[in-house]
A and B are shown apart, each in its own frame.
Chain A
Amino acid sequence: DTAVSQTPKYLVTQMGNDKSIKCEQNLGHDTMYWYKQDSKKFLKIMFSYNNKELIINETVPNRFSPKSPDKAHLNLHINSLELGDSAVYFCASSPKWTFPDTQYFGPGTRLTVL
């Protein structure tokens, strides 16, 4: 299947732990993104990579660190998890860093911090 995939789908962990979420796309896209969707369904961009290069780094605590080993993968590592990190995290990809740019979303990872 051609798609954007994420693992894990659900993640439940204790405050203070460190966790990672992985994302892979086999669409041949150049650009990948991480979004956070909070309990009010507001979707906000966190990071974007274009061909493994960090393009967008929004105002996100430095406990969040993205890593792109190649242009098909973008992982998100979170240190010292806090209650407020509980949300759904979506990975997305788009064909290229040009206008207009259509983004395709992965299934999401629901993170619950206890």
Chain B
Amino acid sequence: QKEVEQNSGPLSVPEGAIASLNCTYSDRGSQSFFWYRQYSGKSPELIMFIYSNGDKEDGRFTAQLNKASQYVSLLIRDSQPSDSATYLCAVNRPGSNDYKLSFGAGTTVTVRA
């Protein structure tokens, strides 16, 4: 079982719609969760992180975390063509000496104008 799994996509949504991205993780000890956006040929850039159950909103982005279900999601409201990118879910499990991020394979989103 992979540590972090994302819906494989690609996900195509019309401009103005909501894009919904899902991520599940295997380690119940995981405590912080990150969403990165990566444009083609570019480096990952952090969109937001969440570590408490519930929703966290930042502009058009909402992250949702459910630790009991080991599930984290990202909603992109009013999707724009500039949101077309690959979205990477990353999970961090703090331990005795281990703060590494484990990444999912990413979901590619295409927003149709």
Contact = CB atoms under 8 A, between A and B. Distances in A.
Interface size range of chain A in the complex: 20 to 34
B82 interface: no
Nearest to B45: A105
Interface in A72-101: 90, 97-101
The SS class assigned to the A binding surface is loop
Given A56-B98, A105-B43, A44 B92 contact: no
Contacts of A43: 44, 88, 103, 106
Nearest to B94: A99
B105 A105 contact: no
A48 interface: yes
Interface residues of B, number: 24
Contacts of A112: none
B49 A102 contact: yes
Contact of B32 (A45, A48, A58, A100): A100
A45 B101 contact: yes
Nearest to B98: A56
A106 interface: yes
Interface of A: 31, 40-45, 48, 55-56, 58, 90, 97-108
